[in-house]
Structure formats: C-alpha cells, structure tokens
Structure 1
Amino acid sequence: MADWVEEGKKAPAFTLTADDGSKVRLSELAGSPVVLYFYPRDNTPGCTREACAFRDAKAELKKLGAVVLGVSTDSIESHVKFRDKYELNFPLLVDEDHKVAEKYGAWREKNMYGKKSMGIQRSTFLIDAQGKVAKVWKRVQVDGHDEKVLAALKSLE
C-alpha cells in the first residue's frame, strides 16, 4: 500500500479517461492549479454532496483558475449517469484499476462494520500550477470541504 503523496512533492503523472470519453493528462493542465479529489462511489450520499459542493463553487474556482477533477473506480457509464443527474460541471475520471489512487495513496484498507476491504479513501490533493502538491486532505469530511479547498487555492495566489 503506497504512502500518501507528500505536500511539496511533484504530483504523480496520470492519464485517465473522463466521463465524456476524452483523455485527461495531468501534464496538459500545467499552468493551472488542479483540485484532484478521490471519492468512493458515484451516487452515494457523501459523494453526491461533495460533487455538488464543487459544482456550486464553479464560479469561484474558475476565478482562481482552478481545474476540478473527480476520480473514482466507477465505470464511464456510472460517471455519465452521476454527472447528468446532478449537472456536474467538471470531469469525472475513471480509475477502474485504482492505479492512480494507489500512486496518490488514496487506495487504502477500509474497515466497515468490522469488515476489512480495500477502497478509495475520500481525499483531495491540491496541485499548484507548477505541478507540485500544495495541500493534501486525507479522510475528508464532506461538509465544508469545498470552503477549505477554496481557502487553500487563494493562499496559492
């Protein structure tokens, strides 16, 4: 199990397929801050609240020049339904083999009601315009998380 990517380190490169079928490469986003957030599952209560909070913060995120990317192990079909149902205005990326989640340390052992399993731990990585990890939030609490991300983005300016 990989350790969390540390603040100040170069963000691990990745190329993932987005909900619209396009390829998203971290290297192509250089020059813009990136909010890369990992979430467990489409259409679950916490994940829906988190996605909708980022959706609703779009204007402020855009003002700060930030790109938001949501990542889970769900299929492209699942992402499309989730995106359309909640009118999400940022790409949802498919990491079905959880390789990118592993690179960032977001693929963890989880303990649900005494049953251990591997899965994505809700976490967010703020990557600055130079491609370095500026901030890491592990075990994210959904409510108010978008405000913490916006505050961290403002501190990059």
Structure 2
Amino acid sequence: MPRLEAGQPAPAFTLTDQDGRTVSLSDYAGRRLIIFFYPAAMTPGCTTEACDFRDSLASLQSEGYAVVGISPDAPEKLKQFEEKESLTYPLLSDTDKAVLDAYGAYGEKNLYGKKTTGVIRSTIVVDTDQTVLLAKYNVKATGHVASLKKALAAA
C-alpha cells in the first residue's frame, strides 16, 4: 500500500458529506487542509479524535487550516455522529474506500497483535498548492491534535 510523502500531489477526491453536499479537494485550493482518516463514527477512539479536532478547530483555523474527517461510514451515520458530538467541520463518506486507498489510509494493519485489513488512522495535511505538506500514519487518537500542531510548527 503506497503512502503519501511531503511534496507529492494530494490525490483529488469528491465525496458526500454528512448533509448530502458534495465536497472536493479542489474546494480547498489556495487553503491549507487537514484531512484525518478514521475507522468508524461513534466508536471510542474515533470520538476522542473527532472531538479533539472540534475543540481545536478555532486555533487551527486561526493558523490557516481547514479540517475534514473521512471514514467509510454512510452520510446518515456521519450526520448522527455530527449531531451527537456537536462536530463543526465536514465529515466525508468514502463507502467504497477509494479515497482512503489513494491516501494510503486503508490496508493491512496490526490490531491487538493480529494482522487485519481496514482503515489506518492517518492524517494528511495538504498545502495551498494541493501538495502534501505532512503525512502521518498509524496515529494515536488521544493527543493527536497536539502532536500534529507540533509537527506543523516544525514543517
């Protein structure tokens, strides 16, 4: 499974969000975008990570970043997740996992000592020119945004 690296073009995508709207990477041209890939809405780790981004959104936006989350969940489940957790950014549905795959966020992973295939918790930061600024794979849900902010300050 190929993983993205800084300087590579970010793969284009068009997905449906929790409100049924179409969202494309090109919508963010000229802006920096943080894309976080997570396995499943309303699970403990994903809720922790999503709420961390929600709670940090104002400071990320003040630094020039937009945020979107992508999972294989259907838009209806994403809408429930948004409402339950008061999430304030787009949640995109990638049910066929094509975007997850293109970004290297789907494949073989180690889960509790067993090899399995699924979503690899990952975060890709896309620069204003739609190239990858930073790619982080196998991230921890807890404390991820703080770690990401440190990495962005160093980038």
Deviates more, 1:90-99 or 1:56-65: 56-65
Match status 1:146 vs 2:133: no
Aligned to 2:62: 63
Q: Do the aligned residues in 2 keep the contact of 1:64 with 1:154 (CA within 8 Å)?
A: no
Please state whether the residue corresponding to 1:57 is helix, strand or coil: helix
Within a 5 Å distance, the mapping from 1:122-137 to structure 2 comes to: 122-137=121-136
Deviates more, 1:114-123 or 1:86-95: 114-123
Aligned partner letter, 1:83: E
Aligned partners of 2:133, 2:73: CA distance in 1, in Å?
27
Aligned to 1:35: 34
Match status 1:10 vs 2:9: yes
- Percent same amino acid among aligned pairs? 44
Q: Do the aligned residues in 2 keep the contact of 1:64 with 1:153 (CA within 8 Å)?
A: no
Match status 1:26 vs 2:20: no
Q: Which runs of 5+ in 1 are unaligned?
A: none
Match status 1:119 vs 2:118: yes
Match status 1:88 vs 2:87: yes
Q: TM-score, normalised by structure 1?
A: 0.92
Aligned to 2:96: 97
Aligned to 1:44: 43
**C-alpha deviation, 1:107, in angstroms:** 0.6
Match status 1:53 vs 2:52: yes
Aligned partner letter, 1:28: D
Aligned partners of 1:147, 1:114: CA distance in 2, in Å?
27
Please state whether the residue corresponding to 2:141 is helix, strand or coil: coil
Deviates more, 1:9-18 or 1:142-151: 142-151
**C-alpha deviation, 1:62, in angstroms:** 1.4
Aligned partners of 1:154, 1:57: CA distance in 2, in Å?
15
Residues 151 and 112 (structure 1 numbering): CA distance in 2 closer, same or farther, change over 3 Å?
Answer: closer
Q: Deviations over 1:105-143 (max 9, x none)?
A: 111123445654321110000111111111111100122
